[in-house]
Structure 1
Amino acid sequence: MANYRAIAAAILEKVGGSENIANMTHCATRLRLNLKDPNKADDVAVKAISGVVGVVNKAGQYQVLIGTEVIHIYDEFETLVKGSGGVALEEKSSQGGSVIGQIFSAISGIFAPLLPALAGSGILRGLLILSVQLGLISETSGTYSILFAASMSVFYFLPVLLAFTSARRFGASPYISALIGAALLHPDFLTLLGEQGNGATTSFVGLPVVLMNYNSTVVPIILAIWAYSYLYKWLDKHIPETLKLVILPLISLAVMVPLTVMVIGPIGVYSGEWIANGVNWLIDRSGLLTGIVIGGGWSVLVSFGIHWAVNPIMINNISQNGFDYICPLTFACNFAVIGTALGVYLKGKDKKLKNFAVTGIVTIALSAIIEPTLFGLLVKNKKLFLAQIIAGAAGGAYLGLMKVVTNAFVFGSVTTFPAFIESNANVINGVIGLGISVIAGAVLGFIFTEKTDKLT
């Protein structure tokens, strides 16, 4: 078993110590740091640490590639920083790095804790749909209702969950923030919508309010908690300690719930819809081109660590529409990496190279984590990286052309394939598209691999 504390301590030392860290978070595979002085970080030394796959310094973030064990290292890393006299990093009011870097850091920090819940719920939903299609479960049964609630609750109550993770990221009270999100889903508030739904009107202390249905929404609550973080910090600074227990949450709820309903919420709903509609419009106009661009280019975004900027769009599509066109195209990328690694395994003669390739195949097939293979094998060889891009574009082109969707936000692997269970045609076309990625990747990987190649 890996010594996570030792790895965390070694990373902390090589990036300049706790005093050099302005902010930190993690995603599914990376420790993401905002460094006060990036020049203090020793890239070579960090890469040499056992358990570290690689280093990427892009978009204002110093990203340490670790893999699925990153959460354990993050916990130890944060403990070490706190032990040096620092405060919880999510609670710092100031952050280092560029504006773009802060945005990417915020997105990854908000959504990363929810990925297991989103993925597990999505797969359960896919399996439930399959069970109904096979006649194993009736849609009128209690079993169906219970499992449907289990699979869909994460999407319905997404504003509450995002409020909590957003508060941790922006430095507000997670529990008061969760209440702000919950208020938007209260039955009495939903009753105000009547039969009209979005666009219905009411009033608050004489001021007109345009109502929205906020269940399953993404953007409104993130904007609301971002705004609330400033109010929370001001209240926390100016309210006497003896009154904070009552006055701080009282003012927070009395101000933020109406403000969210009247101003922030509608802006968030409409902006989220515009973004999603824009992406879906592009797919409708040219699914083939969209598939080529995303299927082929996703690994480039991953290599720079900026793919998180697209993930909220997919999550919003799933929560609002029940399906998404982009997620299958990310599958094309992952299966292209599998195919390319397979080609390397079949052509290569070096034992270490073959073992690394087959390890990558198994890892991606089971966990959808492509970074170790991407950085350990493909990025180092431009021909192989190009092979994967071409293969991903080929598979993505077919998936986009056939308008293949997933009914869950998941990372592309064999284990998450139930997300394609929407219709028989969708499943078949999904298999064909991913098969194209694997075969094209294997052929090109075989062609571009030299028998004398070694793992460096």
Structure 2
Amino acid sequence: MDYRETARGILDAVGGPSNISNMTHCATRLRLNLKNENIDDAKVKAVDGVINVSKGGGQYQVLIGLEVPKVFDEFEKLVNGSTDNEVSTQIKPHGFKGYVNALFAAIAGIFSPLLPALAGSGILYGLLLFCSQIGWISQKSGTFVILTAASKAVFYFLPILLAFSAARRFKVSPYIAALIAGALLYPDFIQLMGTHGNGAMTSFLGIPVVLMNYNSTVVPILISIWAYSYLYKWLDKHVSKDLELVVVPLVCLLVMVPLTVIVIGPLGVYGGQFVADVVNWLIKNVPLLAGVVVGGGWSFLVSFGIHWAVNPIMINNIATQGFDFICPLTFACNFGVIGAAIGVWLKTRNKELKSFSLTGVITICLSAIIEPTLFGLLVKNRKIWAAQMIAGAVGGAYLGLTKVFTNAFVFGSVTTFPAFVAKNSNNFLNAMIGLGISVIVGIILGFIVTKKDERLA
């Protein structure tokens, strides 16, 4: 794929730079806010590298796949290079719906760059546990310790990574942001807690400070960098350019580090933990319902691009507890899509649909990207989509009842199975059974609802 030509083709097809008010991207989609939404979808789909298009969350979404960051970089250059007024990469909120869209876009923009690091680290840890269990690597060896450090460093230093990513999203200095997060992990600061842990007290200029352990946390640093972005932009606007190099970082650090540890940090830790505890309580106490709802409804959330609102909860669970019960239920959805696509492949006589379905199966198995099949097949045929949802719900119900968990935040594919490896060997077995159920139910129902002369719409 020629990223620049793909970007140029998309830009021309959506009406050029003058028709774009905002732009951003997530893991697989270019997300655009258009002034005139009367766009010829077929023209956009015809661009080389474009898999599909959809509308959701108030945005025109162009599905590209995992190469979307590179396409976005070229797209941004073309847009801002051809207009006097630079187009924002952030959603400007208008009304309640606008704020919701801005929230989803911000979450996607912050977490998307970190997904490879999170997934790779999690898979490495799963493989390390597997090698340890079969006796290939001793847990007392230097090899085990080094690989453990490699796989868990991303979670310990997650606040710094999130700070850097959030700062880039909010268009402020990512290095100052990383310093703010780094201060929270500084050894001498952590030692102030002594043996008391979270809730220990100290003071700053006579102001009481509730101490918290911020390694592996998500919410506090996101709120802190959001607040810092306003301070940074105000200073950048009002401080003389001659003093900017020293004054801006000095004031940002003097204000944001104390503000974070005194106010933002404790509220963020307790607030984020409360949300996670509520979701986890539902998963643990009504696992059947949770499995049905998440496993069956995840593809619906993905179709609108709002599944990103749930991802930080999963990441927080992995970072703070080392495991997550929600992530396996998203696997059930993906494998329900695989099953439904196989059912269609077995039933239809149309060569184009057969090829499309089989390609979708291979894509999901290797990369966990369901959007091509979701938008190219399921959304267009509600019966097949319903078959997939039922398959995901049934498989999700089993995964929920057996309390299957992952030790990493990953997307559901065959290549991410190591995330189910745990000291409890039944976890992997139950995961395979649950995903097998999703596939089998998907095949059966997909086969039943597909017509022999079914075609791509």
TM-score (norm 1): 0.96
* Distance in 1, Cα, partners of 2:140 & 2:195: 25
Superposition deviation, residue 438 in structure 1: 0.3
Cα deviation 1:201-225 (Å, max 9, x = unaligned): 1000000000111000001000000
Superposition deviation, residue 12 in structure 1: 1.3
Query: Structure 1 residues 39, 352: closer, same or farther in 2, change over 3 A?
Result: closer
Query: Structure 1 residues 30, 212: closer, same or farther in 2, change over 3 A?
Result: same
Cα deviation 1:110-152 (Å, max 9, x = unaligned): 0000000000000001001111111111111110111000000
* Distance in 1, Cα, partners of 2:377 & 2:360: 9
Cα deviation 1:7-34 (Å, max 9, x = unaligned): 2112112323223333322122100123
1:147-162 superposed matches below 5 A: 147-162=147-162
Cα deviation 1:44-96 (Å, max 9, x = unaligned): 43233333232222222221112223222112101212322467766779567
User: Which one-letter code corresponds to 2:150 in the other structure?
Assistant: A
1:338 aligns with 2:347: no
Partners of 1:90 and 1:171 within 8 A in 2: no
Query: Where does residue 380 of structure 1 map in the other structure?
Result: 380
Displaced runs of 4 or more, over 3 A:
40-44, 85-97
* Bigger shift: residues 88-97 or 54-63: 88-97
Give % identity. Answer: 65
Query: Where does residue 365 of structure 2 map in the other structure?
Result: 365
* Distance in 1, Cα, partners of 2:60 & 2:265: 33
Query: Where does residue 78 of structure 1 map in the other structure?
Result: 76
Query: Where does residue 26 of structure 1 map in the other structure?
Result: 25
Superposition deviation, residue 99 in structure 1: 0.8
Superposition deviation, residue 377 in structure 1: 1.2
Note the residue ranges of structure 1 that are not aligned, 5 or more in a row: none
Partners of 1:90 and 1:169 within 8 A in 2: no
Superposition deviation, residue 38 in structure 1: 4.1
User: Which one-letter code corresponds to 2:258 in the other structure?
Assistant: P
Query: Structure 1 residues 99, 197: closer, same or farther in 2, change over 3 A?
Result: same
Query: Where does residue 62 of structure 2 map in the other structure?
Result: 64
* Distance in 2, Cα, partners of 1:55 & 1:90: 21
User: Which one-letter code corresponds to 1:145 in the other structure?
Assistant: V
* Secondary structure of 2:415 counterpart: coil
Partners of 2:41 and 2:53 within 8 A in 1: yes
Partners of 1:53 and 1:375 within 8 A in 2: no
Query: Where does residue 39 of structure 1 map in the other structure?
Result: 37
1:276 aligns with 2:276: yes
* Distance in 2, Cα, partners of 1:368 & 1:91: 26
Superposition deviation, residue 455 in structure 1: 2.2
* Distance in 1, Cα, partners of 2:249 & 2:262: 20
* Distance in 1, Cα, partners of 2:14 & 2:251: 41
User: Which one-letter code corresponds to 1:334 in the other structure?
Assistant: N
User: Which one-letter code corresponds to 2:55 in the other structure?
Assistant: N
Partners of 1:219 and 1:272 within 8 A in 2: yes
Query: Where does residue 221 of structure 1 map in the other structure?
Result: 221
* Secondary structure of 2:165 counterpart: helix
Query: Where does residue 14 of structure 1 map in the other structure?
Result: 13
May I ask how many residue pairs the two structures share in their alignment?
A: 454
Note the residue ranges of structure 2 that are not aligned, 5 or more in a row: none
1:445 aligns with 2:443: no
1:87-106 superposed matches below 5 A: 98-106=98-106
1:49-198 superposed matches below 5 A: 49-85=47-83, 98-198=98-198
TM-score (norm 2): 0.96
* Distance in 1, Cα, partners of 2:16 & 2:213: 46
Partners of 2:28 and 2:64 within 8 A in 1: yes
Partners of 1:126 and 1:421 within 8 A in 2: yes
Query: Structure 1 residues 387, 89: closer, same or farther in 2, change over 3 A?
Result: same
User: Which one-letter code corresponds to 1:429 in the other structure?
Assistant: N
User: Which one-letter code corresponds to 2:453 in the other structure?
Assistant: T
Query: Where does residue 410 of structure 2 map in the other structure?
Result: 410
Cα deviation 1:130-186 (Å, max 9, x = unaligned): 111111111111101110000001100000000011111112211100110111000
Partners of 2:54 and 2:375 within 8 A in 1: no
Query: Structure 1 residues 197, 38: closer, same or farther in 2, change over 3 A?
Result: farther
Cα deviation 1:281-323 (Å, max 9, x = unaligned): 1012210000000000000000111100100000000000000
* Distance in 2, Cα, partners of 1:14 & 1:269: 45
* Distance in 2, Cα, partners of 1:254 & 1:91: 28
Query: Where does residue 4 of structure 2 map in the other structure?
Result: 5
* Bigger shift: residues 129-138 or 54-63: 54-63
* Secondary structure of 1:450 counterpart: coil
1:427 aligns with 2:428: yes
Query: Structure 1 residues 28, 117: closer, same or farther in 2, change over 3 A?
Result: same
* Secondary structure of 1:98 counterpart: helix
Query: Where does residue 206 of structure 2 map in the other structure?
Result: 206
Query: Structure 1 residues 217, 439: closer, same or farther in 2, change over 3 A?
Result: same
Query: Structure 1 residues 65, 152: closer, same or farther in 2, change over 3 A?
Result: same
